[in-house]
Structure 1
Amino acid sequence: MQQIADHLGVSKFVVSKALSGKGGVNETTKNRVIEAASQLGYFAQKNAYIKNQVDSQFYSEASGKQSVIVLMPNIRFQTRESLYWGRIMEGISVELERRGLGVVIISESRVDNIIHVLNPGGILGMVGVGQIDSSLLLEVHRLGIPTVLVDHEDALIPTDTVFANNMDSLSRLCNHLIGFGHKKLCFLGDLSFSRSFRDRWLGFRDALERSGLEVQQADDPMLWLQGVETGEYADELTAILQTKQKENTLPTALVCANDSIALRVVSILQDIGVSVPEQISVTGFDNIDDAARSEVSMTTVNVPKEAIGRRAVKKLMERIEQPEMAIEKILMSTELVLRESTGAAVGG
């Protein structure tokens, strides 16, 4: 802690408070301490946090079963009602039930509001689903609670993770479009939104570069759409597409970071008089139920959502049984689902 304090030019007391998770330090300073601690190897040291002494005979009084916490903070529409997150939660619940384990689902995102639940002597482990704040993950890590994250990772705090194979999947999707004669492809999303979005962009870029096609510049506004979870980017995107329409520079294919964006894009294109797929092909990602039900059924990538949830539980059990094993990042295979929203490029 003294090394961290010297590195940041703060007192050891400030470092101690930031790493304790007990408050008393502003968020900016706390995040700086966490980042410096990670860079200096603090979290890699076995004596840097409390080792989890899980009582194998612990049973939840409420359920009569051994219990696992499932943390899915209610941010960015990460809820059980979500067409994406809900299916992952279903997979987690089914696998826990199959193993005779109880589950405590937490949607709270503030550390101080759930700290009383994080009792290392009273839970087997935790599965984190979606975006989770670093300070909360730090508290879980500090307590030594075995943890697996789904569709999220934190560069500062080492944990096992489970993702869809986003890069490879998007690359295969683009290769399919390129095979249909598409040479002007654009990616739509917000690269700052999640690790999955960034990995999908990397797969998109890799496919185009390998085919010798032009790739969007990093400052292209279509890569930084604000409010992708709410659709508030719609007016901005409409203006961008209308301008391209007037300049006759519309791409032949729009590759969207997820199905929700793709469905909204199809609606925008129809509103401005551009037909899908006759003039532009549109693709999504995730294969949520609405992708098949839409007026123009969506070509997408099927993410095995329930299987991801089940695999996260299996990984957690492996971690509990073998705490010294190397940390793993598990990539689940996907498959392309070809529907009406894609076709041959105009003139292709």
Structure 2
Amino acid sequence: MSRKITTSDISLALGLSRNTVSKALNGHPSITVETRKRVVDHAIAMGYKKVKLSVGGGTAAAESAGKARSIAYITKSQINHGTGFWLNVLSGVEQMISHSGYEMKLSFIKNEDIEALELPALLASDIAGFIVAGSFDKPYTEKLMALPHPKAFINIHPDTRLSDLRADVVFMENEDSIYQITRHLMNLGHTEIGFIGEIHSCRSFMERWFGFQRAHFDGNLPIQPSFCITVPNAESYQNYEGIARSMKDLPKLPTAFVCANDKIALHVIKYLKEIGKAVPRDIAVTGFDQISEAEFLGFTLTTVALDEYQLGQRATEQLLTRMSKPDRAFETVRLATKVVLGESSSSR
């Protein structure tokens, strides 16, 4: 059972005295409308149960928020939340929402709804805010962004300009991790390195591509496009058959592949094994995400470790803060990651 929120918790969170918080919550005339609204909004976001909503002018938003005790979690229907990365993200979101006294409502968006720009009915209901997990295409992202609700995104479409955000966005660090991995491969003597990932699908993959490019620039090594698979074809990256077809079309295999995530890396390793190539003896392969499925390779995978649970928690924290401080500047947050060097990229 979660601990009850007190006026002391609210005063600590806002940097106000308990006396000021108490007066604001009780509608005392000595408290300004701005301070009163700030305290009431934050109290509601924290799950304080004794808010008096009839506190005078400027409280319509607080009254509305007081009635809306649900937070929506919006994601694509094809994202697998049953295992791995997204299950851990969802668990982090659910824990934070429950701890804050809200109810979480899920909405899985189908491809046909995205193409038709049809928003889920849930977003027309009485919700306090919503979290978007995963990257949608730019038109659908803009439609979500235009909604008046407080909102937070976990990842976003790469064509969305961060300078024009009307929401908070949370990522794991991407660019520098792939930069380190690519320079590691170069230091091992690799001069023919390919990149595999649909860089136009989400900003995280695009930033990983930026890290790959920067490593080549700093290493004075030209990128060879014939070794890279980055075309915007989602089907090619979702299953083994798609990856295998794309790799068969390469005119020549490089000596190393930097993959945008571990799932792609596992498909690449499987294909290489089927054509008689050994990892890392013949070709080095790296990933990103440190998913549990890589534990069954028989060797360790060079990858990037991150905490998906904290990713979900932080996105929810951003949303709760946005609900209590709607006028605060929007933020782009990147959580730290760690490069884990494994046997899949060991010395040739």
* Paired positions, count: 279
Aligned to 2:183: 175
1:224 maps to which residue? 231
Gaps of 5+ in 2: 1-59
Indicate yes or no: 2:303 matched with 1:300.
yes
Superposed, which structure 2 residues align to 1:280-295 within 5 Å? 280-295=283-298
What is the match of residue 149 of structure 2? 145
Decide whether the 8 Å contact of 1:299 with 1:341 is kept in 2: yes
Instruction: Report the Cα distance in structure 1 between the residues aligned to 2:343 and 2:109, rounded to whole angstroms.
Output: 40
What is aligned with 2:134?
130
Q: Select the residue among 272, 277, 289 that pairs with 1:274.
A: 277
Q: Is the 8 A contact 2:279 2:285 kept in 1?
A: yes
Residue 184 in structure 1 maps to residue 192 in structure 2: yes
The within-5 A match list for 1:1-348 is 55-58=64-67, 66-74=69-77, 77-109=78-110, 110=113, 115-119=120-124, 122-134=126-138, 136-153=140-157, 154-155=160-161, 158-217=166-225, 222-224=229-231, 226=233, 227-240=236-249, 243-244=251-252, 250-345=253-348
Gaps of 5+ in 1: 1-50, 60-65, 245-249
Deviation, 1:289, is: 1.0
SS in 2 for 1:97: helix
Question: How far, CA to CA, are the matches of 1:198 and 1:140 in structure 2?
Answer: 21
1: CA distance, partners of 2:165 / 2:325: 19
Which amino acid in 2 is paired with 1:319?
R
Cα separation, partners in 2 of 1:73 and 1:52, compared to 1, 3 Å: farther
Query: Contact between 1:54 and 1:124, CA under 8 Å: does it hold in 2?
Result: no
In structure 2, the CA distance between the partners of 1:283 and 1:176, relative to structure 1 (3 Å rule), is same
Give the C-alpha shift of residue 78 in structure 1: 1.2
Change (3 A) 1:240 1:108: closer
Stretch deviating more after TM superposition (298-307 or 125-134): 125-134
Would the aligned equivalents of 1:285 and 1:302 in 2 still touch at CA under 8 Å? yes
What is the SS of the residue equivalent to 2:344?
coil
> Within 2, Cα distance between the matches of 1:115 and 1:331?
28
Shift of 1:115: 4.7
Structure 1 or 2, whichever has the larger Rg, is 2
Give the distance between the partners of 1:234 and 1:139, measured in 2 at CA: 32
Shift in Å at residue 157 of structure 1? 5.8
| Secondary structure of 1:70's aligned partner | strand
1:230 positional shift: 2.5
**Structure-2 change in CA distance of 1:279 and 1:326 (3 Å):** same
**What's the secondary structure of 2:76's corresponding residue?**
coil
3-state DSSP class of the match of 2:333? strand
Q: Residue 189 of structure 2 aligns to which amino acid in structure 1?
A: G
Counterpart residue type for residue 162 of structure 1: V
Partner amino acid for 1:255? V
Q: Determine the C-alpha separation between the residues in 2 that align with 1:229 and 1:94.
A: 29
**Contact 1:118–1:140 (Cα < 8 Å) also in 2:** no
Is the contact made by 1:190 and 1:197 (CA closer than 8 Å) also made in structure 2? Answer: yes
The amino acid that maps onto 1:160 is D
1:109-153, Cα deviation, whole Å (9 max, x unpaired): 437865532247x21110100023555545544441001000114
Contact in 2 for aligned 1:148/1:161 (Cα 8 Å): yes
Tell me the CA shift for residue 238 of structure 1. Answer: 3.9
Q: Which structure shows the bigger proportion of residues in helix conformation? A: 2
Match of 1:30 in 2: none
What is the deviation of 1:324?
1.1
Shifted more, 187-196 versus 230-239: the winner is 230-239
* Residue aligned with 1:55, SS: helix
Q: Is the 8 A contact 1:138 1:157 kept in 2?
A: no
- Report the CA distance between 1:233 and its aligned residue: 2.4
Q: CA 1:334/1:136 → structure 2, altered by over 3 Å: closer, same or farther? A: same
For 2:56, the equivalent position in structure 1 comes to none
Q: Distance in 1 between matches of 2:230 and 2:147?
A: 38
Task: Give the equivalent residue in structure 2 for 1:14.
Answer: none
Give the distance between the partners of 1:313 and 1:231, measured in 2 at CA: 33
- TM-score after normalising by structure 1: 0.73
Q: CA RMSD in A?
A: 2.5
Which amino acid is 2:103 matched to?
Answer: G
The amino acid of 1:270's aligned partner reads K
